[in-house]
Amino acid sequence: MMVLESFFDLIFGWAVNINPLFGMVFISLILTLLVTLIYKYTTNQKAMKELKDELKSLQGKMKEHKEDNSKMMEIQKEAMEKNIKYMKHTFVPMILTFLPIIIIFGWIKLTYDPFGKIFFMFGWLGTYIIFSIIFSYGLRKALKVY
């Protein structure tokens, strides 16, 4: 673990030393960018877009038929099948990103626990989640990741 700790100190430590919040924002941006790029290049983006469009269409149909229970159930079943297909496409990138993220989180916890609250009432994990959601939304739009 000492080797990884030294490695992450070298890559991210300077940002934490400038300011803990700046460091967390930078780490969130870099990790979110890496995860987004892995998702983009390990999934069939055309198929993902088609599935997402079909799901959006089915949601519209559900709104139209909210009074007709049998039709609604039929549409929900189809939507569930599409959701399962969508999740199958995201399984490989999820596995590829899970272990590295867990390892990096170990270093982040060691580094940030002494700081306590970083962003308003949030510690390192809450701060990471907030900024990674913001960056994920922006990066996915900019890079057209579905």
Percent of the chain at pLDDT > 70 equals 99
Q: Are 38 and 97 in contact (CB under 8 A)?
A: yes
What is the distance between the alpha carbons of residues 103 and 28, in angstroms, rounded to a whole number?
14
What's residue 1's pLDDT?
Answer: 65
What is the token pair recorded at 121? 């009432």
What's residue 68's pLDDT?
Answer: 86
What is the token pair recorded at 92? 């490989």
What's residue 12's pLDDT?
Answer: 97
Overall average pLDDT of the 14-19 stretch: 96
Residue 103 has pLDDT above 70, yes or no: yes
The CA–CA distances, whole Å, from 146 to 72, 128, 139 equal: 26, 22, 11
What is the distance between the alpha carbons of residues 44 and 17, in angstroms, rounded to a whole number?
40
Dihedral, CA of residue 83, residue 132, residue 31 and residue 5, to nearest 10: -120
Read off the pLDDT band of 2 (50, 70, 90).
confident
Overall average pLDDT of the 118-136 stretch: 97
What is the distance between the alpha carbons of residues 115 and 74, in angstroms, rounded to a whole number?
52
